[in-house]
Amino acid sequence: MTPARRATIEFLLDNLVWLMLIVVLIVFSLTVPRFFQFGIFANIIEQSTFVGVMAIGLAIVIISGNLDLSVESTAALAAMVTGLLFATQGIGLGIALEPAWLILPVSLAIAMLVGAAVGMANGFFVVRLGMSAFIVTLASFIWVRGLVVAISGGRSAQSLPAAIRVVGTADILGLPLLAWISVGCFVLFSFIMAKTPFGRYVTLVGGNLEATYRAGINSNRILFVSFVLAGLLAGVAGWLLAIRTSGATANLGVGMLFNAFAAVVIGGVSLKGGIGKLPGVYAGVLLLYSIHTAINLMGLPAHYTQMILGALVLAAVLLDTLKLRLREKLL
Amino acid sequence: MFAGAVLAGAMLASSAFAQDKGTIYYMVPTLLDEFQTESVNAIESFLAQVGYETVTLNADNKTDLQQSQMNDTILLDPAAIVIAPVDFNALAPAIEQAREAGIPVMVFDRQVTSTKVDFTSVAGTVEIGHVAAAEIQRLLEEKNGSVSGKVLQVLGDPGDPYTLDIQKGFEERMADHPEVEIISLPAMQWEASNAGSIVADQLLANPDIDLIFVHAAHLAVAAVASLEAAGKQPGDVLLVSSNGAPVGLDLIRQGWEQVEVEQPLYAQAAAIAMFADKVVNGEEIKPGTYNVLGLESEITIEEWGPNLKIPGAAITAENVDEPRFWGNLTPPSDPIKPVE
């Protein structure tokens, strides 16, 4: 095989998920009535924001060789705290700040702190005490959702002030601001993962913990920070979710963990750690939400929606597996 | 929170006078829903007023968990069990098991018709669909001059019989109006942002949607957020919701929502307390009309047992502030009295 041919095949395989996304978008555009319009594509990017931001943190933890099942509940907690403090209806305390725009950085900082605190707790138990990440974060998934129910009493907080709602309603160049935020998060963290020592260490630690330890890399610190980052990003996702729905309910975000995991896997991140790139994860998120949107537009009978979604996710993962085999065979 | 405090206060006050008639277990399907959360406060308070202590068990929307809770509760030999089943039919064997053990079972809010129970207090989920259909027909006629147009129906989770019953009732009554196109989509797991996404997508695919009907008030909030994001103003797209939660009433006051079909939560809970003595003592419950918190309600003797149906109400801008609606969180101040 010539080097040029090899490079082409490698490029195609590395970006297979993007090709899949393009193919899916073309198929939906041709077959689903009223799918092919700018607004629908903008909706797909906007709706993928919450799972997308959540999936960045999840992917970082998985690439580092661990697992975080708590991101969905952490996002829900951050959303509920945002709603509880700043919403004006329901159980919202309606805290107002002067000047009004201060609510944006203050609420974001609080949501990030909430998320980071859960991430630190996870990191402490997994890294410092050596407990299984699966068990620790499963426990967090449960207790954090329980905390959401406890602090809300099962009630909802609604109607966030206009100063914060602007994030959910404004658009720039026709694209919702929420969409720009998710794109921005992916660009930023893709850069961090690809171009900074931290990003490279995360991949190295996930690939071979022993070797990085021997190379003098503080692997425990890298693992701990990856959990904190996952929590922090889940907090941001929850903050965005609260803004999008103008408040929070006790079941907000339920089911998003499945979507985040599916996106990460479809995006080419190995559950064994050490392999994966964030642009692929973003393509995975967009692919999932293209499917969601197509199902919404097709008006399929309610009972079949989950079946179709599951089958399409399976098909996407199957293609990814075929890609790995093809790579082994050809390269 | 205020209502909860008032109810808790009432409960404490009434407990002082309450006779010790035993413990009744209340099997609540979930606490991730304002209706169910408030039902816990109401049932515990009202049963305390007629002399019973209440223990509430949350099934977290899991049928298997509710079945195990039933099995455990039967061993504790309570005075009675009140159940709002996660699944209307799957709990039938557990209900039969309890009754065989001599424990009477009362059904709250979610009708079980596949087995015999000792008392049922419901607004009727199919009937909520009927009330919604009547209101939607009125709204479409006012808007378009005839009952015609396009309706987006946002269901709850498609695995929940509650939402399917509302859909059934709604579509039954809309079948007479073929000029109304109904697009039905589920908000998986009753999750608000799923409802928001459906509305956002459908506003683009079907910009001529006249009315959105969501099966719970918390989904209406997300629907409004999507309408706002699409640059709509209150009233541009009509909105109808069901269950009567506080957030739905707030949306009516803001002008975004036109009708909220209420489930009369306080009356449904009060009826449980009113008939608790008769059920626990195995006395006959006679058919007829009963006044439950001012609502004329009818008991019929059905194959599955005495069935009290309390009429749901349509809440509009005209009557939204009336304290009788549970969404205003003003629990009834008059003490509950057992039916003689």
pLDDT of B6 > 70? The answer is: no
pTM above 0.90, yes or no: no
Domain residue limits, chain A: 39-299
Domain B126-262: CATH class, spelled out = alpha beta
Q: What is the mean pLDDT of residues B129-141?
A: 96
pLDDT of residue B8 exceeding 50: no
> What was the pLDDT predicted at B304?
94
pLDDT digits (tens, 9 = 90+) for A44-67: 999 999 999 999 999 999 999 999
Q: Out of 1.10.150, 2.40.50, 1.10.3470, 1.10.3210, which CATH number does the structure's domain A39-299 have?
A: 1.10.3470
A303 vs B contacts (CB less than 8 Å): 158
Residues B83 and B98 sit within 8 Å (Cβ to Cβ):
no
Of B307, B251, B328, B329, give the one whose Cα is nearest residue B107.
B307
Beta-carbon count within 10 A of B105 CB: 27
Return the higher-pLDDT residue of A316 and B294. Answer: B294
Mutate to test the interface with A, among B165, B193, B250 (most CBs of A within 10 A): B193
Would you state the pLDDT for residue A189? 97
The beta strands (E) that lie in B178-312 are given as 180-186, 211-214, 238-243, 259-262, 288-292, 295-302, 305-309
- Per-residue confidence at B141, pLDDT binned at 50, 70, 90? very high
Q: Dihedral angle at the C-alpha atoms of B295, B300, B303, B304, nearest 10 degrees?
A: 30
CATH of region B2-123+264-310: 3.40.50.2300
Nearest Cβ partner of B192 from A37, A89, A245?
Answer: A245
% of residues, chain A, pLDDT over 90: 65
Q: Which residues of B touch A (CB under 8 A)?
A: 1, 4, 31-34, 36-37, 155, 158, 183-186, 188-194, 196-198, 200-202, 204-206, 218, 221-222, 224-225, 228-229, 245-247, 250
Give per-residue pLDDT as tens, B183-221. 999 998 899 999 999 999 999 999 999 999 999 999 999
**Cα separation of the two ends of chain B:** 33
d(CA B169, CA B172) in angstroms, rounded, equals 5
Minimal Cα–Cα distance from A288 to chain B, Å?
A: 13
Tokens in use for B338?
């057992």
Lowest mean pLDDT, pick from A3-7, A108-112, B22-26, B70-74 = A3-7
Q: What is the CA radius of gyration of chain B?
A: 20
Task: Write out pLDDT tens, residues B106-123.
Answer: 999 988 888 999 999 998
Q: What is the mean pLDDT of residues A125-154?
A: 94
Cα–Cα distance measured from residue A177 to residue A171, given in angstroms and rounded to the nearest whole number: 5
Helices marked H in B76-124: 92-100
Can you give the pLDDT at residue B110? Answer: 84
pLDDT at A192: 97
* Residue A283 · residue A21 · CB < 8 Å: yes
In chain B, CATH 3.40.50.2300 sits at: 2-123+264-310, 126-262
Half-sphere exposure of residue A234, counting CA atoms within 13 Å on the CB side? 38
Lowest mean pLDDT among A7-16, A145-154, A273-282, B1-10: B1-10
Shortest Cα–Cα distance, A43 to chain B (Å): 7
pLDDT at B5: 47
* List of chain A residues whose C-beta atoms are within 8 Å of the C-beta of residue B222: 244-246
From B158, B183, B250, residue closest to A158, measured CB to CB: B250
Q: Which two tokens stand for residue A116?
A: 């980071």
Q: What are the strands, taking DSSP E only, across B159-310?
A: 180-186, 211-214, 238-243, 259-262, 288-292, 295-302, 305-309
Q: Which residue on chain B is closest to A244 by alpha carbon?
A: B225
Is A104 buried (19+), middle (13-18) or exposed (0-12) by CB count in 10 A? middle
pLDDT at A313 exceeding the cut of 80 = no
Q: What is residue B236's predicted lDDT score, i.e. its pLDDT?
A: 97
> Which residues in chain A have Cβ-Cβ distances shorter than 8 Å to B37?
153-155
